[in-house]
Amino acid sequence: MAQAKPSGECRPRGRPQLRSDEETRRIVFDAARHAFAVDGYAATSTEELARRAGISTKTLYRLFPGKAALFEAMCADRLERLLSAVDLQGSDKVDIETGLRAALLACADLALDPEVVALQRMVLQESAAFPELAANFYNNGISRTVRTLAGWLRVQVKRKRIAIDDAEEVAGMLIGMVASTPQRAAIYGGMPLPSRKQIERRVQTCAALFLDGCRAPVAVSL
């Protein structure tokens, strides 16, 4: 009688699971954010980006036509977390002060993220040689952040919670109050970025200052 073979010998080997394009893009974005912030845009080659992401240059070019397109997509991807965070605070069940603090904190988290600040420093340094970098960073970062917060503010105006005339102008002012000073201090002065507690305290102060001046008047019935 023939002896039975060990159970493991005839077991077919499973095929390695392939990553989806979406997962691969996420890995490339993470690698690119770090590489651009540390080494700069000009000094970072597509070959180096592919190596850091653990993919071939052929795969990188299939997903992104070039380094500029990758940079633009990376900036846009970074904003998605902001968009979802702000949208989640638009419910009628959330009072205006809580909602505003959450929206401003989402903006501050993005603007004062160490990698985002490092990227902004890199854009400032290399924008003369690569002007498209500044345009992409502005359109997919600064401008889009302002438009997102402005959309949230318009909802609050419609619900008669606040009274303002120009939502985009006010959004820019609010983001400036929350993030501009510590951001400039880090980029130009080499100062450390604020801690989470410091950011939350700054957001609380900015929200209170804004609402003291812009909260819609409550109608009093006689």
Nearest to 183 by CA among 134, 132, 116, 104: 116
Beta strands in the chain (DSSP E): none
Under the banding of pLDDT at 50, 70 and 90, the label for residue 5 is: very low
Report how far residue 6's alpha carbon sits from residue 4's, in angstroms, rounded to the nearest whole number. 7
Rg of the Cα atoms in the chain: 23
Under the banding of pLDDT at 50, 70 and 90, the label for residue 69 is: very high
User: CA torsion sign, 171 to 175 to 178 to 181?
Assistant: negative
Let me know how long the chain is: 222
> Please, what is the angle between helix 196-214 and helix 167-175, to 10°?
150
Q: How confident is the prediction for the chain on average, in pLDDT?
A: 86
Q: Which two tokens stand for residue 190?
A: 């080499």
Model confidence at 74: pLDDT above 80: yes
| DSSP-derived 3-state class of residue 90 | coil
Which residues, 6+ apart, have CB-to-CB distance to 4 below 8 Å?
none
Give residue-wise pLDDT tens across range 28-64: 999 998 999 889 999 999 999 999 999 999 999 999 9
φ and ψ of 198, to 5 deg: -65, -40
What pLDDT score does 216 carry? 78
What pLDDT score does 92 carry? 67
Give residue-wise pLDDT tens across range 123-136: 999 989 999 888 98
Report how far residue 29's alpha carbon sits from residue 33's, in angstroms, rounded to the nearest whole number. 6
What pLDDT score does 136 carry? 87
Give residue-wise pLDDT tens across range 159-217: 999 999 999 999 999 999 999 999 999 999 999 999 999 999 999 999 999 999 888 77
What pLDDT score does 167 carry? 96
Instruction: Give pTM, 2 decimals.
Output: 0.76
Quickly count: other Cβ atoms within 10 Å of residue 32's Cβ: 26
Which residues, 6+ apart, have CB-to-CB distance to 55 below 8 Å?
24, 27, 28
